[in-house]
Structure 1
Amino acid sequence: MGITSQARHFQDAIILFGDSLTQNCTGGSFAYRMTYAYQRKMDVLNRGFGDYNTEWALSLFKRLFPLRFGRSEFPQIKLIVIWLGTNDAVLPDDSPTPVPEDAEYDTGRSVPLAKYGTNLNKMIDSFTDSYSEYHLPGVRIALLTPPPVVLSMRKPGQAKVDLDHTRKYKDECLSVGKQWSRKSGGRVQPVDCWKAITDVADGEKDDALRPFFTDGVHLSPNGYQVVFDELMRIIKKNANWKHLDPANIKATVPRYNAVTDDWEWDYEPTPVQERKD
């Protein structure tokens, strides 16, 4: 007789899906800040893929997101953060990064503006359409815009970017997010990373933006803090998002010095099942 156990998921989950979520992982990244904020409350699954655009990211869906049937092995996903666009906005004549060998698309890194918008719509539709194999009932989706870029920080050999060209992708992302917000009753929300950073920096001039970037494209710990704060602001201000505020979520695991026999778990561990071989 053998013994097998179903996966024990006693916490709901947040999925971060983007191109630069893992940068500065030593303590200043967006993923780190999310994990720290939701520790012992929700699992934060970081699906960050450096240099990926929306075309390549779409090819990852079958590997990263659970299908609606057989989803009992996965935690319940409450929030998906989509942060893609900076690589889509690389200037069309510059694609120094090779196309991934297992990608379903063979385009360069640059993605046309209209196609970028179409790809974002496909992603959101996959999670919200009740007929989709990736449908997640009740999920909230935060659509983060590309941040500005700092040309004076770029070095020879790095992907070529342009502030005004990237701005178009930011605007397209905002447009898609606002349309879905209306369509979904607010369950999808755009997060304007561009405005959040330029407001704190008091403008778009390179010198003002430098403290928020490491290389003109990837954010510094200061930059990630601004984006994290903006997401938290949106979660707190929207009535049907407040259940995602870390302050409103009871810890499923107590602090090490608070473990007692009468601790009330929010989730019952999945019982061990016996199986005859």
Structure 2
Amino acid sequence: MRFQHLCGRFTLRTSAAAAALIILSAVYLYAQMYRTSSSPHVVAPAVYPMYDTLLAFGDSITQFGSNPRINGFVGELASYYSRRMDVLNRGISGYNTRQALAVVDQVFPKTVLPRKHITSKILEPLGRWPHRDDTFPGTAKGPRLCLIFFGANDASLPFARQHIPLDEFSDNLRQMVTSLHDPSSVYYSPDTHILLITPPPVGDRMWEKDCKKHKIRVDRKNAVTKTYADAVKMVAKESGLPYVDLWTAIEFMVHNNRTDSAPTSSSTQDNEYKTADSKETAKSNGTATDSPEDGYKEYLSDGLHLNAKGNKLLFYLIVGKIRSNWPYLNP
């Protein structure tokens, strides 16, 4: 009986030791996972070894930028960077900056796994197909260059559902920049260069005709869009980032009767654009067209979106900024 009693005690102790060992192993593994995922300064290894990426994040103007029928600027960049960078189009038609921030988690690659990812990795399949909308599942290297191109929808008049107040618009842009450049962000990518792009001008007469055609209220004005373009430039200057002033570029072309879509290198500099606010001034030089609508038709398809010449102009402006700010990114 004593022998059986001793064997029983030995078995219990062995089982307890095995259970304790299993628990300690689980704690150790969890600690290793947590240490990698929770520290904002530890960048997890990329799941996908690949080319550097150029990520274009914007609204419908960006989404349509892959359309070859209108020389889409994103498609032009993809051709320009063939075998040098993978160009990703993350333009979402109809989106303003508030909606864009809501899907940043599905657009910007995660360089660090957040703490919640450890459990959600198990539970996520129960809610939806895992990573269905993500740019990359797991972690990946941040984009080498990110174009942020919003404002055309935010600048809608206050009664429109897409309208975003000017102050909020500026804050939303700052949050996008911070998402990539803040060490505490799960998207932190210090090697990512950011280029902000202002919305293009609105061809008021063209847009009014398009709205009447679709029997909707006129919800955009060029004068209002200019204030949002100015906000983009202000955020860029505050953040020490370069920007493409597309609003001023098209205004300069329209009011100076320029129809060439590839400006000279000197004209791509923002301080050398001359915005012709006065039609009379342009007329005195003999350069203005009789109808501003005709001028905007050179670059806009409906008074809001870019046509082939507008896309070509934007492509040249982007390439010019890349060459002047990051020549090592020029293929």
Q: Does 1:235 align with 2:288?
A: no
Aligned residue identity for 2:85: M
Aligned to 2:158: 92
The answer (yes or no) to whether the contact 2:111–2:139 under 8 Å persists in 1 is no
What's 1:22 paired with?
63
Gap change, CA 1:207 and 1:173, over 3 Å in 2 = same
More helix by share: 2
* Superposed CA offset, 1:39-63 (max 9, x none): 1110001001011000000000111
- Range with greater deviation from structure 2 (47-56 or 22-31): 22-31
1:65 to 2:108 alignment: yes
Maintained 8 Å contact 2:101/2:176: yes
Q: CA deviation at 1:8?
A: 5.0
Aligned partners of 2:145 and 2:303: how far apart in 1?
29
1:50 match: 93
How many equivalent residue pairs?
Answer: 220
Partner of 1:257 in structure 2? none
Take 2:182 and 2:142, find their aligned partners in 1: how far apart are those partners?
17
SS at match of 1:165: helix
Secondary structure of 1:133's match? coil
Q: Give every structure 1 segment of 4 or more consecutive aligned residues whose post-TM-superposition deviation is greater than 6 Å.
A: none
- Indicate if the aligned counterparts of 2:170 and 2:235 stay in contact, CA closer than 8 A: yes
Indicate the residue corresponding to 2:272 in structure 1.
Answer: none
Higher RCO structure (Cα 8 Å, ≥6 apart): 1
The match for 2:228 is 169
The aligned amino acid for 1:224 is N
CA distance in 2, matches of 1:50, 1:41: 28
Per-residue deviation, 1:75: 4.5
RMSD, matched Cα = 1.9
Change (3 A) 1:85 1:37: same
Aligned partner of 2:242 in structure 1 is 189
Correspondences of 1:128-143 after superposition (within 5 Å)? 128-143=181-196
1:83-129 Cα offsets, whole Å, 9 max, x none, are 000100011112xxxxxxxxxxxxx2100011100100111011111
Matches of 2:170 and 2:246, distance apart in 1: 17
- The amino acid of 1:138's aligned partner reads D
- 1:66 and 1:23 map into 2 onto residues whose CA distance is 22
Partner of 1:207: 294
Q: CA deviation at 1:76?
A: 4.5
Report the CA distance between 1:7 and its aligned residue. 5.7
- Structure 2 residue aligned with 1:31, among 68, 74, 84? 74
Please name the residue that 1:11 is paired with. 51
Seen in structure 2, the aligned counterparts of structure 1 residues 119 and 73 have a Cα distance that, compared at 3 Å, is closer
Aligned partners of 1:244, 1:48: CA distance in 2, in Å? 22
Higher strand proportion, which one? Answer: 1
- Per-residue CA deviation, residues 3-50 of structure 1 (Å, 9 max, x unaligned), is xxx965331101000002122613411211111111111000100101
Distance 2:162 2:64 in 1: 19
Which runs of no fewer than 5 residues in structure 2 stay unpaired? Answer: 1-45, 114-135, 257-275, 278-291
In 2: Cα distance, 1:200 partner to 1:57 partner = 30
1:83 maps to which residue?
149
User: Which of the residues 145, 156, 165 maps onto 2:198?
Assistant: 145
SS in 2 for 1:212: coil
Amino acid in the other structure paired with 1:143: L
So what's the TM-score if we normalise by structure 2?
0.63
Structure-1 separation of matches of 2:190 and 2:141: 13
Structure number with larger C-alpha Rg: 2
Question: Percent of aligned pairs with the same residue?
Answer: 31
- Cα distance in 2 for partners of 1:227, 1:191 equals 8
Distance in 2 of aligned mates of 1:8 and 1:15: 16
Query: Post-superposition shift, 1:167?
Result: 0.7
User: Structure 1 residues 7 and 142, CA, compared in 2 at 3 Å: closer, same or farther?
Assistant: same
